[in-house]
Structure 1
Amino acid sequence: MAASALMLLVLVLPMGAWPSLGLSRRPCVHCCRPAWPRAAAPCPYARVSSGDQWWGLLQVRPTIDISILKGEKGEAGPRGHPGRSGKEGLPGFRGLQGPKGQKGQVGPPGALCQHAYAAFSVGRRKGLHSAKDFQAVPFDTELVNVDSAFNLASGRFHCAVPGIYFLSLNVHTWNYKETYVHIMLNQRATAVLYAQPSERSVMQAQSLLLPLAAGDTVWVRMFQRDRDNAIYGEHGDLYITFSGHLVKPATEL
C-alpha cells in the first residue's frame, strides 16, 4: 500500500517540490549502463539546470560497427533461365576499309583453251538438169572439209558443233532454162535461189545465217516445176560452190 502511495506522489508532484519534501534528485540511470555522470552525456530525459557540472557536454550516441556484424560471402547460386531475346537493333554504320591484303600465291596452270570450229567449202564442175520434182545436188570437188563433216556423194553437211553458221551458195544459170534451188535445213527449205529463163546465163548467189544443233544437216535441193530446171557447169572451171562455217558456238551464246 505504501509503494502505491509513493508512486502516486511521484507522478503528481512537480520536480521542484521534491527538495521540500526531503527527496534528493538522482541522475537518470539506464538499466544496462552506469549512471550518466560517468558517461559522455546526460540522459536526454533528465532535467539538468545550468549550474550542473555536466551542463553543456555534447550528447554522444552509441554506434555499431556494421562491418563486425557482416558475415562471409556466400556461394553463387544456380544459373537462371535465359531471358527473352530483345528486339533487333538498327544496323550500325559501315566500318572503315581495312588494309590491303597480301598477294596470294600463283595458282596451277589451267587447261589449254580449245576453240570448237567447223567449216566446209565444196564445188561442182559438171552441170546438172533436174529429172524429178526434188533432187539433191551432189558435189565432186572438196575445197575445205574440217573433220570430214561434209559428204560429197549425198551433198550434206552434218553438224557436230552446234552454234551459228554462215552459209553461201553460188550457181551459174543455163541459157533459156529456169534455175530454182533451195538451201535446206534437214527437210525444211530455208532460202531460195531463183533465176528466170534468159538468153544470157548469169551468176546467182544466196547467203544466210542459220542456228544449227548437233545432228542437223544442211544441203542443196533442185526444185522442178513445169519448166526445165538446170544449173550450168564445165569440167575446166568451177561455177557451182556451196560453203559454210561456224560463226559462234552455242557454248558462247
Structure 2
Amino acid sequence: MYLGFYMFFTIATIQISITYAQTDTAACNSCCTAGVPGIPGHHGNPGVSGPQGMNGAKGEQGMKGEHGMNGEQGMKGEQGMKGDKGSNGLDGIPGKLGPTGPQGLIGLPGSKGVKGEKGEQASQQKSAFSVVFTSDPGRHAVSPMKYDTIITNVGDDYNNETGKFVCAIPGVYVFQVNSMKINGRSNVLTKIMKNGNSQVSAWTSADGYNSASTMVVLDLVSGDQVWTQPQDLSTNNYKSNANGYCSFSGFLLYAA
C-alpha cells in the first residue's frame, strides 16, 4: 500500500515539475534556451498531531452477543462453618426386608413354667368280650360255637345267639381260643374264623384230658365277623364244665 502511494506521489511530483518546466520553457523560449529537469526532492517529516477532537454522540446499543462457552471449574473453596441443627424430617417409607441373618446360638433353657390345669381325658372307644362253655359241648357240629355263658361283653359286639363277634369299631383286635378234649384217644382242632376263612388253629391229640390254645391279631373293618368252629367231625370231641375249659375271648387293641 505504501509502495503504491509512494509511486503515485512520485509520478504526481514529476508531472507537476514537468508542467512548471513547460510553463517556464514557454516563457523562456522567447528569450532563452530550456534547461534539464531537476531530480525530485525527499519527502518531508510528518506533521505534528492535531488537537483531540470532541467526543462523538453515544451510539445505539448493539445486538446481544452469542452465549459464550462455559468457563473452567474453579478451585475448591475452604470449608464453611458448621450450620445450626435443623428440625427432624418426616419418617421415610419403610425399606425392603433384608436378607435372613445366620442362625444364632441356642439359648439357655428357660425356667420351669407353672403347672397347668388337669386336662380332660380323651374318650377311648372300647370293645372286649370273653365267653365260655360251662356245660359239656360234646361233639360239636362244624359250625360257629355258641358259648353258653358270657363273662364280659363290653360294647355288646359279641352275639350270643349266633356265636359271632361283629366288628362295630374299625381297628386292630386280639382274639384267643382255648379248647379241651375228652379223656381217651381223640382229637380236638379248633379254628378262629374271619368272614368264613380260617385264620389260626389250636390242635391236640394226646391221651387223657388235654387242651390246646392259640391267639391271633386281626385288622378289622366295620361289619367283619369272627368266630370259632371245629375242623371237622373227627376233631370235635370237646370237654368242659363249670370250670370253663373251653373259652373264646377278644378285645380292641386300638381303633383305626
Give me the TM-score of the superposition, normalised by structure 2: 0.54
* Correspondence for 2:50: 22
2:238 maps to which of 226, 231, 234: 231
Matched, 1:181 2:209: no
Amino acid at match of 1:193: A
* Correspondence for 1:129: 139
User: Percent same amino acid at aligned positions?
Assistant: 23
Give me the TM-score of the superposition, normalised by structure 1: 0.55
Count of aligned pairs: 163
| Offset at residue 26 of structure 1 (A) | 6.6
Cα 1:249–1:20, aligned 2, differ >3 Å: closer, same or farther? Answer: same
Cα 1:150–1:228, aligned 2, differ >3 Å: closer, same or farther? Answer: closer
CA–CA distance in structure 2, aligned partners of residues 128 and 31 of structure 1: 155
Q: What runs of 5+ residues in structure 2 fail to find an aligned partner? A: 1-44, 62-95, 105-117
Cα 1:24–1:178, aligned 2, differ >3 Å: closer, same or farther? Answer: same
Cα 1:93–1:153, aligned 2, differ >3 Å: closer, same or farther? Answer: closer
2:218 maps to which of 181, 204, 210: 210
| Offset at residue 200 of structure 1 (A) | 1.7
* Correspondence for 1:115: 124
CA–CA distance in structure 2, aligned partners of residues 92 and 29 of structure 1: 80
Cα 1:154–1:27, aligned 2, differ >3 Å: closer, same or farther? Answer: same
After superposition, residues 67-146 of structure 1 pair within 5 angstroms as 92-94=99-101, 113-125=122-134, 126-131=136-141, 134-146=142-154
* Correspondence for 1:74: none
CA–CA distance in structure 2, aligned partners of residues 145 and 92 of structure 1: 64
Matched, 1:244 2:244: no
| Offset at residue 183 of structure 1 (A) | 0.2
Amino acid at match of 1:118: S
CA contact (8 A) 1:170 1:205 kept: yes
Amino acid at match of 1:165: Y
* Correspondence for 2:161: 153
| Offset at residue 187 of structure 1 (A) | 1.3
| Offset at residue 154 of structure 1 (A) | 1.2
CA–CA distance in structure 2, aligned partners of residues 121 and 18 of structure 1: 160
